[in-house]
Amino acid sequence: MINFDFSNPILSRFGPDRAMRITRAPSRSAWRLAQCNHECLERRLRQLGPWVRIHAIARAVGWSKPTVMKFVRLGLLQRRQKQRGQRARMPAEVSTRSVMDLAEACRVMLEDPPCSARAYHRIRTRFEVLGPNGDYQTLPAFLTIEDVARYLRCTHTTVLRMIRAGEIYAEHRTPCRWEIRKKDLPRWAYKETRI
């Protein structure tokens, strides 16, 4: 949910028109900016200076360069105007103050995470639309990486990432082979079919 309480001093300083544009911004990036440690972010940005190149802003905030440019095009981040006589291909620079203002506005406005902020959103969305590749009840008690990848309609690499991230609990059968119990699949992968 987005909060449009413009009596809030942060939002009134940011401006209603600019605040409304947050609804058109990349939702996952805006949510991550709202949830970040603002003191650490401000410290990092102060060390960079008042005007910074886009790649440095992207590294400080944890975005990609195209994401920074999307926020610039929406008018949510202030880009330095080129002076007369400057080369046309001078690297673009963004105001670090505008990044902090945007972070404060996102923190005040964004009360709930977007759907796309959940872990493994793409795989989960595909799973919800297409359903499992097979029936949960007919799965064997112990699964291999290949079995899980087939059932979740994803790649083996994604399953390994889920294991490392703690999304799926697995044990080593041999040094190079994982064993996954059926009941240790992610909850979203069987709650619909288990009922």
Separation CA 72–CA 66 (nearest Å): 10
Q: Find the length of the chain.
A: 195
pLDDT tens digits for range 31-56: 888 888 888 888 888 898 888 888 88
The per-residue b/e assignment along 120-138, b for 16 or more CB within 10 angstroms, e otherwise, is beebbeebeeeebeeeeee
Separation CA 28–CA 73 (nearest Å): 17
Ordered by where they begin, the domains of the chain are 9-114 (1.10.10), 121-194 (1.10.10)
Query: What rounded mean pLDDT belongs to the chain?
Result: 81
Q: Which of 1-15, 23-37, 97-111, 134-148 has the lowest mean pLDDT?
A: 1-15
Q: What is the CA radius of gyration of the chain?
A: 22
**Structure confidence at residue 195 as a pLDDT band (50, 70, 90):** very low
Residues 6+ apart with CB under 8 A from 20: 4
Residue 191 has pLDDT above 60, yes or no: no
Give residue 194's pLDDT: 41
Q: Which among 120, 184, 187, 121 is positioned nearest to 158, based on CA atoms? A: 120
Q: Which among 109, 30, 14, 19 is positioned nearest to 67, based on CA atoms? A: 30
pLDDT tens digits for range 105-159: 888 888 766 665 566 777 877 887 888 888 888 888 899 999 999 998 888 888 8
